[in-house]
Chain A
Amino acid sequence: MTTDPAEQLQHLYETELRPVFEELEAERQALLQRLLISGLIALAATGLLVLLVLRWGFEISFFVIVAGITIWWIVNGGRVQRYRANFKNHVVGRLVRFFNATMRYEPNSGISQAEFSASEIFRQRIDRYSHEDLITGTIGATAFRFSEVHAEYKTESTDSKGRRRTTWHTIFKGIFYIADFNKHFNGRTIVQPDVAQSLLGGLGQMLQGVGRKLSFSGDELVKLEDPEFEKLFVVYSTDQIEARYILSTSLMQRLTQFRKTMGVDVSLSFVNSKINLAIATRKNLFEPPHLWQSTRLQLSDLQEYLQDIKLAEDVVNELNLNLRIWTKA
């Protein structure tokens, strides 16, 4: 057995995943055929029905078209889901174990709403919450879990005709990552992307302090000495000293670097001796190639999935969470 990761991946591909890919490809082809044939039948049937009912009015034929599409999806939706589940279980699950034998992948689990709320990064009321693609494991001394998360709240408005309209707003969509932190602490420290200060400078910082005092959360604005970090983030904490104990000068640098590599908004909180990261990626992780995409799965695709799995390790290493020189084991 070779120790070169690229060769190991090649080996895994040749011995285990190639047959799986072929099966998945066969499943995809069959599914496509089914979708096309049933689609044509549905189209013909709906067309005929529309012609028959058209004389009773346009609204009824509209109803028939909607019914046709719905029935077509009811017949086929399950199959599409199964194809997706097969891909996730057999390919992504295997890749996660390949990456690190201690890691586990559960496509239908995720960071629970309770955990999400307990992080206190987002304080809005949550009306709809969904999660998928949970990865758990331990790297060195650090236990972690992360998944995709989508939290939303709704607003309801009534227009002039008295119709109620519900609008959904995203609170957070992306990867939510929870890891054991390497220092003990009792309070709560929250690090958020800084909007006010990057736009308004010192005035923005003043407004943040006033705003926090008015929100009665018991948190104070923490002004830190790293100018680059301060430009990217704003920090609130229940304890000025503890916030600095957690956000050591080196962790501030590491977070700045991490934020720059990720290229998207990153919010963090430190609660109950845990670090929570909310990374607002737009990408939907670990999805099979699109059904209509004709190219077959290849070794290079695996590299991309592995890149996403590697985030598990990146957070622990880049934030140096395995440095255990303090009293916490």
Chain B
Amino acid sequence: MELIFCIVGLAVVAGVALLLLYNSLIGKKNAVDQAFSSIDVMLKKRYDLIPNLIATVEQYMTHERDLLTELTQLRTRALSGDISPDARVTTENQLSGVLGRVMVAVENYPDLKASQNFLQLQGSLNEIEEQISAARRAYNAAVTDLNNAIEMAPTNIIAGMMNLQKRQLFVASEVERQNVDVRSLFRSNQ
């Protein structure tokens, strides 16, 4: 009799533990998805700013028509529904690059730089960039959390049974890394 109680007790404890671990894994996986979708939200906000930016700068920036056209094209491409995730990331990175170049080019137009409209827009853009970076960092934290759970004992066993896969971290793309070199951008403008 006592043996049966013992076995039942152990089974209940094991069951509860299994349930908790399973739930924690699902929670972590959903946190990653949620973080990913919030990056998307921020990126969409950035698209919304681009038409405003172009409208503000185009009357001043007579020499950078190509740059602005490129920006519009990239935005259209990123917004079109039938784009693969990989292509989306590339487009996104190119967009960041071109935006950075527009901002540097503004330096050549003191009137534009001082205009209230542009200053407001620049503030909004900085804000969005900061938000995007925060969202990416949140995503990376969530992914690290999930990846740790997938690899560490005891959750790794359940994760194996659930067939959970490790996710990739966001890393600064080649384009973004190049952007940091502001001097080369100045040179290309001369």
| Residue positions of A touching B, CB distance < 8 A | 183, 222-225, 240-242, 244-245, 248, 325-327
Contact = CB atoms under 8 A, between A and B. Distances in A.
A interface, by DSSP: helix, strand, loop or mixed?
loop
Among B35, B123, B140, B144, the one with the most A-chain Cβ atoms within 10 Å of its Cβ is: B123
Contacts of B135: 241, 244
Given A240-B35, A241-B35, A327 B123 contact: yes
Given A240-B35, A241-B35, A327-B123, A225 B137 contact: yes
Interface of B: 35, 38, 120, 122-124, 126-127, 130-131, 133-135, 137-138, 140-142, 144-145
A241 B131 contact: yes
Contacts of B120: 327
Contacts of A224: 137, 141
A187 to B, nearest CB: 12
Contact of B138 (A241, A248, A325): A241
Contacts of B145: 223
A325 B38 contact: no
Given A223-B145, A327-B123, A240 B130 contact: no
B123 A326 contact: yes
Contacts of B133: 244, 248
Contact of A225 (B35, B122, B123, B141): B141
Nearest to A248: B130
Nearest to A225: B137
A223 B145 CA distance: 9
Contact of B123 (A222, A244, A325): A325
A326 B127 contact: yes
Contacts of A225: 137, 140-141
